[in-house]
Amino acid sequence: MQQLRRGSRSAGAQRRSSGAAAAALRRPGPRAARPRAARPVARLVVAAGLLGTLFGGGGSAAKAAPEAPRKHLEDDLGEEQAEIELVSSERPDGSRARILYRSNAPVSPEELEQLCEKVGWPARPVDKVALALRNSYAVATLHLQISRPGGGGGGGSSSGSGGGGGAEGERLIGLARATSDHAFNATIWDVLVHPEFQGQGLGRALVEHMVRGLLRADITNVTLFADTKVVDFYKGLGFEADPENIRGMFYYPKL
C-alpha cells in the first residue's frame, strides 16, 4: 500500500502522482468527551506470503481477538502509547516474531530509503530525508522483530544479532509521517509498507494510529494526497476525496 508514488515531472520538483487526489479527514462538531482509557489493540492479520512463514503458515491467520464493527476513529481515541504490539506469534523453532507500531521512535534515514527502494520509489538525498524526518510533527513506524528462544523480545530496538537471549533482529517495514502547524492542520506523507507485508491490514493500522494521535492533540483537519488506486482505501478510514469540491493545488518550479 502506498500513499502516493514518489517522483515528479522533473528532477527536484515536489513529489506528486499524476492521478493524486486531495483527501481530508474532518472531525465533525465540538471535541468529544474525554477519551476513554486505552484498550489492547486486537487485529486479525492474514498470514499469507512472508507473514505466513513468520506467523504460522501460508493461508492461516495470526490469531488475535476479532475486531468489533468498525467505528469512526474519533469514537475511541484511547491514550498515547509509544509502542503497540500488532501481531505476535511463536515460530516452530521457538523464536518469536512480532510486528510493532511505534510513535516517534528514531528512524535511520538510510533504512527508510532502503524501504522506499523496495516499494519502487525513486531515490532521495539521504541528508534531505534526515531533515524531513527531523522536521516532521509525527513519525509512525512498523518494525518486524525476531526474538530468539528464551528472550523477552520486548523493549528497545535491536539490529543484527547479539549475545545471549533476546532480540535477534529488527527491521523497518512501514512508515508514515505528518507535518503540522501544531494547532489546526496536519498533512500525512510517505505512507508505505514493505511489499512482502502489504495486503495484511498493517497499512490500515499504521494510518489509524497516526490519525488518532493527531486527533488526541486536537488537530482536527487532517489531509493527504493519494493515488487514485488507493482513494478507496483512505475512504474506508473516513477520509473524503475533494471535500466540498476543494482541490489540491501544486506549484512546480520550471527547472
Q: Catalytic residue positions?
A: 234
CA distances for 61 relative to 52, 81, 145, 174, 230, angstroms: 8, 25, 18, 20, 24
Partnered with residue 101 across adjacent β-strands are 84, 142
Judge whether 147 and 96 are in contact, CB under 8 Å: yes
| Amino acid at residue number 160 | G
Judge whether 15 and 6 are in contact, CB under 8 Å: yes
Which of 216, 251, 186, 204 lies closest to 23 in space, CA to CA?
Answer: 186
How far apart are the C-alpha atoms of 176 and 250, rounded to whole Å?
21
